[in-house]
Amino acid sequence: MFPVSGLTFTEHGAELIDDFLSPASLKSLQTATDTLTLPTIKGGLRNAETKIPLISKTIEIEAIQERLEAYLAPPLSLVRAIYFDKTIDQNWLVPWHQDLTIAVDRFFECEGWENWTQKDGIWHVQAPLAVLENMITLRIHLDDTDQRNGCLNIVPSSHALGRIPHRTITSITAQSGHTACVANAGSALIMRPHIIHSSKKGTKPSRRRIIHLEFSSFQLPEDVNWA
């Protein structure tokens, strides 16, 4: 199996970019997130761009959206931002899965949009494959990350299988093998949202902060907006 450094976005659906953030931006984000207490974030802080304003500023300063146009046709919009902080006290795991769900501002009926739920008053729905193929996930590492502090694991090229029934994901992973996304602080992992991925508990947990950003160029149905 390829090390993460050997993966390319075009072939494998994921790619690691070292030194994605400038040293100044990395330090600023580390300082900004140092002020967040664990009881507040509870593992994942949703709508992080509104609660950590520096995220939006960093996207602008680093021209992140323009840089992502090499991976996905413009125009791109930021449609989700989550801040993760895995620590000794919050050392969670996430089983193998695909990210299939998006958040929108209202319910609508359209073929291929299914499994509607509401979370905190916001509609969530599993989107058709065409939506996922016009999305990109950017995971910015604020700390050095490896198996000891619970790095992400991915199954390279699994996005090419489309939307996979959840009951078959474990067998696909066993047959295909996986790659541990070992990364340095300031690097970024760019991946398709529907690539199969997971995260184990850290064996020697230490702080593992991630800025998880999702961008999309998909045009939603008329009068529907990303939430």
Helix (H) or strand (E) holding 31: helix 23-34
Let me know the angle formed at the C-alpha of 79 by 62 and 3, rounded to the nearest 5 degrees: 65
| pTM (predicted TM-score) | 0.95
Helix (H) or strand (E) holding 60: helix 54-61
Query: Phi, psi (5° rounding) for residue 81?
Result: -140, 125
Max Cα distance, the chain (Å):
49
CA dihedral sign of residues 111, 117, 120, 124: negative
Domain parsing of the chain, residue ranges: 4-93+132-216
Q: What is the pLDDT of residue 43?
A: 64
Q: What is the pLDDT of residue 119?
A: 86
Q: What is the pLDDT of residue 120?
A: 80
CA dihedral sign of residues 162, 168, 170, 173: negative
Q: What is the pLDDT of residue 35?
A: 78
Q: What is the pLDDT of residue 38?
A: 57
User: Which residue stretches of the chain have pLDDT < 70?
Assistant: 1-2, 37-43
Residue with tokens 């949009």: 113
pLDDT, tens digit, 9 for 90 and up, residues 111-142: 999 999 998 889 999 999 999 999 999 999 99
Q: How far apart are CA 192 and CA 188, in angstroms?
A: 13
Q: What is the pLDDT of residue 39?
A: 60
Query: Phi, psi (5° rounding) for residue 50?
Result: -85, -25
Nearest Cα residue to 165 out of 135, 196, 119: 196
What's the order of all strands across the beta sheet hosting 188-191?
14-17, 188-191, 135-141, 208-216, 77-86, 44-46
* CATH for 4-93+132-216 (2.40.30.30, 2.30.30.140, 2.60.120.620, 3.10.150.10): 2.60.120.620
